Amino acid sequence: IETAMWDIVGKATNQPVYNLLGGPVRKKIRVYANGWYYKMTEPADYARAAEKCIEMGFTAIKMDPVSGPWRNYLSRAEERKSVEVLRAVREAVGPDIDILLDLHRRLSPMHAIRLADLYEEFEPYYYEEPCMWENVEALADIKASIRLPVVTGEAIYAKTGFRPILQHNAADIINPDVASCGGILELKEIAAMAEPFFVAVSPHNYNSTTLALAATVHASAVMPNFIITEYFLPFVELGKEVCPNMLEVKDGYIDLPTAPGLGIDLDEEALAKHPGKQFPLRNLRHPADEGP
């Protein structure tokens, strides 16, 4: 509702939302490609898929190097496989492409630290959600023990949720999601709250390449401490179907829209053809996955 209200006010005043928020500090928004590696297990497959992202013009890609069911502790074989995957991707894309790592909050602190040390030679841009953010002390311990920038925040709601993260110095970068943190203004204010802590903002954007992406772009335009946001490749085809003027990526960036409001429109008839579905369950490890 909050996002829709910003769109309404922008259209009523003939202004893009970012002007209503105080005016942009940049003309374009950097994005990274995500969702390009799903269901892959072999290093060569990751490498080929990463190359395709670069051919599309992206200068940054995000990935989870650990395939298979999620667990707090990995076997040594799983560790080695993840290193091979990351090595293959780095060799495929070269030294100038930023590789962002997402561990999806599943590791124990000990294992998060161990993997960060193994991954450091590949110069990841950042290390997202190494453990559950609810244990702020554990997250702070991880941050203090590794050299990779630690990211958290995609599942945190509102400024009050981010306060302990900042007070405990538990992250170098936060990634609030406009669709779950409280909306456009809340995202802007969370970023402002992080700024005096020298914490950067990389907004999470799993929810769409249409409304949520547009809302994120407008909020990001006014953040001095913004660095990069998310673009999910698997959602592009559907996005184009339901949004005739969907924001487009060019050379790894999205230009700020100049139309009033959010700068996009939804085809509600097309959208009605895609009813909601249950979100897939996390790929957790079960007893049968532990071996014979």
- The predicted model scores a pTM of 0.94
User: Within a domain: residue 39?
Assistant: yes
User: Within a domain: residue 178?
Assistant: yes
The CA R_g of the chain, rounded to the nearest whole Å, is 19
Structure tokens at 94: 């070269």
Q: What is the CATH number of the domain that holds 267?
A: 3.20.20.120
User: Within a domain: residue 216?
Assistant: yes
User: Within a domain: residue 202?
Assistant: yes
**Phi, psi (rounded to 5 degrees) for 250:** -135, 120
User: Within a domain: residue 48?
Assistant: yes
- Say if residue 158 is exposed, middle or buried (CB neighbours under 10 Å; 0-12, 13-18, 19+): middle
From 104, 111, 168, 286, active-site residue: 104
Say how many domains are in the chain.
Answer: 1
| 122/125 Cα distance (integer angstroms) | 9
104 is an active site residue? yes
Residue recorded with tokens 């829209």? 257
| 124/98 Cα distance (integer angstroms) | 7
274 is an active site residue? no
Q: Which domain holds residue 22?
A: 2-271
Three-class secondary structure of residue 141 per DSSP: helix
User: Within a domain: residue 74?
Assistant: yes
Residue recorded with tokens 């962002």? 100
Note the pLDDT of residue 290.
63
User: Within a domain: residue 283?
Assistant: no
Give residue 103's identity as a one-letter amino acid code: L
DSSP-derived letter for residue 22 is: T
User: Within a domain: residue 285?
Assistant: no
Note the pLDDT of residue 93.
99
From 168, 204, 274, 286, active-site residue: 204
pLDDT in tens, the chain (292 residues): 999 999 999 999 999 999 999 999 999 999 999 999 998 999 999 999 999 999 999 999 999 999 877 788 899 999 999 999 999 999 999 999 999 999 999 999 999 999 999 999 999 999 999 999 999 999 999 999 999 999 999 999 999 999 999 999 999 999 999 999 999 999 999 999 999 999 999 999 987 899 999 999 999 999 999 999 999 999 999 999 999 999 999 999 999 999 999 999 999 999 999 988 877 776 766 666 665 5
**Phi, psi (rounded to 5 degrees) for 253:** -135, 155
Give residue 159's identity as a one-letter amino acid code: K
